Amino acid sequence: MRSLDTDLEDLVRTIAALNRAWKIFRDREPKSPLAAALRDGKSAAQLELLRRFPEACDLVRDDAEGHELYSVRLNRPVRLANGVVLNDAMHLPVEVVREYLPSTQPGRM
């Protein structure tokens, strides 16, 4: 039987992998349908994380490069297979949160 911790860590690892793949494809071909699918998959996984594990993460406003973003902050770090330790599950656009989690109050998940 899998633990909730394992499920959470696997989900964060999936988000990190999708984020990396999205950025690679976005940089090569910004209007690529594959890049858009990877970005949307990352957002869907982040929303799943926020819904399934609200006690494990918080949304913190972290605008960057002219984009309205939230950082999905983890309450405890997750180690990736390559040894990198994540304290967040990447950025999520503000408009995605407003559309799919309208009752969410950032910083109070």
SS3 (DSSP) at 100: helix
Instruction: Provide the strand spans (E) within the chain.
Output: 57-61, 69-79, 85-93
pLDDT for the residue 3: 61
Structure tokens at 96: 């995605």
Average pLDDT of the chain?
91
Measured in whole angstroms, the distance separating CA 102 from the mean position of its chain's CA atoms is 17
Distance in angstroms (rounded) separating the CA atoms of residues 33 and 18: 14
* Percent with pLDDT over 70 in the chain: 92
pLDDT tens digit sequence for 64-73: 878 999 999 9
pLDDT tens digit sequence for 83-92: 999 999 999 9
